[in-house]
Amino acid sequence: MKKADFTKVFVALVLVFGIFYYLNQNNTFEALKNVSIADFGLLTIITFIGYLTMGLQTYFMLKEQYEIKISLVDVICLPVAMTLFGYIIPTNGGIIYSTLFLKAKYKVKATTGFALGVVLIYISFILSGVFGVIGYFLTDDLGPEIFYISTPLVLSPLLVRLGNQLFQLLPFSKQGFLGIFQSLINELVGSSSDMMKNKKIIFLNVLLTFIYLLITYVSFMKINEMLDLGINTFGLFVLLLTTRVSSLIRVLPGNIGIQELYMGSVFKLVGLTASLGAIFSLMWRFSTIVLMIPFGITHLLLNTHHIKPKEFFNRKGKKSDDI
């Protein structure tokens, strides 16, 4: 494990210990006593349906843009396996797993695999931004900070292309590391921009992302009911908007600790305590962890003949097309 990766794992463990200690000191775990196995099972089913929409997004993008059809097993299991590797590889492990897997099994170019993830992020950002802007103008409950955050999200593809054009002006040597990185970024942005021009891809992914957001909202309603928090529709909307954006940016393994701290901050915005926000986040996290064992690990084991686990941790020195 690289020193930087070890540091991230260490920070994640410190955050986990600190959060659990804080929650225990404040008796926040008492909120879990009334949670039934049946309710948690229903939450897990809702979460699984959300994963299915993510799998369908990957299926339609590859089919429409490159005429590549992934199997039903991959539609079902790949998104869950990506979450699993988000815990194993400290930074963006899910995208790395997806990219290497699609390259090994379906011969999808590495930059194309990354571009798939970028397009999904674009669409999520745009929809989240649109909801934020609409919510800002339709209700007086949302402050101007929501508008300031939402507007750049709507414009994210344009801002990324503009940033790439400026980055390409830097005079790096084409044979050097920065030059290779510059070329990789340019190809990645170009591939994702080409996908964004495909109207059918955009329509299907906007539809599926919208469905995913609705499913997430339903899961938040269920957690709200299970913990008897009494969050109103406005509060759940704020949670949905902010957590969707934060969940796409991974810094630590599985964003352990970061997600709980972030959710705690958002809970304070809707008039609740930070400790309840952390418990809310843990419930949401546990519903995904339950799925990682039967679906995530199974997907990895079924595809060891396509890609070896050691390849995820031995990427140093490979060309950009090999990752």
Name the nearest CA neighbour of 76 among 291, 286, 287, 255.
Answer: 291
At 320 the pLDDT is: 45
**DSSP annotation of 266:** H
Name the nearest CA neighbour of 184 among 81, 99, 57.
Answer: 99
β strands within 14-99, DSSP E:
none
Please report the DSSP string for 96-161 in residue order: HHHHHHHHHHH---HHHHHHHHHHHHHHHHHHHHHHHHHHHHH-SSS-HHHHHHHHHHHTHHHHHH
Structural element, H or E, at residue 7:
helix 3-25
At 245 the pLDDT is: 66
Averaged pLDDT, groups of 10, the chain, 323 residues long: 71 84 83 89 96 93 88 95 86 83 89 84 86 80 77 90 94 88 90 86 89 92 92 80 69 80 82 88 91 90 76 51 50
Backbone angles phi, psi at 56, to 5 degrees: -65, -35
At 1 the pLDDT is: 56
Q: How far apart are CA 158 and CA 303, in angstroms?
A: 37
Please report the DSSP string for 245-260 in residue order: HHHT---SGGGTTHHH
At 308 the pLDDT is: 65
Q: How far apart are CA 66 and CA 1, in angstroms?
A: 35
Q: Are 226 and 283 in contact (CB under 8 A)?
A: yes
